Amino acid sequence: MRYRNRIASALALILLVMVGTVLLTGFLLFALLLFAIFLLLIAGLYVYIRLKLWWRKRHPPKELERPEDYV
């Protein structure tokens, strides 16, 4: 009887360790995925701002001088 309890306890421990490992790995992968998405968003925002500044530098606003320019 005592032998069966030890086997059951060992199996329960192994099962708990496996479940814990799967959960921890899942949470870490989820965190890594969120971090990668965050980095992509930051990089995209940086590229967007740089392109917008470059475009403004290359194409300054038109100077309005004549009355026809305001129509």
- The pLDDT of residue 69: 67
Domain boundaries, the chain: 2-70
What is the per-residue pLDDT across 17-45, written as a single tens digit (0 to 9) for each? 999 999 999 999 999 999 999 999 999 99
> Is-contact 69 62, C-beta < 8 A?
yes
- The pLDDT of residue 39: 98
The H or E element containing residue 21 is helix 2-58
- What are the tokens at 52? 């917008």
Phi, psi angles (nearest 5°) of residue 59: -130, 80
For residues 13 and 70, give the distance between their C-alpha atoms in angstroms, rounded to a whole number: 80
Q: How many residues does the chain have?
A: 71
Better-scored residue on pLDDT, 61 or 28: 28
User: Mapping DSSP to helix (H, G, I), strand (E, B) and coil, where does residue 68 land?
Assistant: helix
pLDDT band at 62 (very low <50, low <70, confident <90, very high): confident
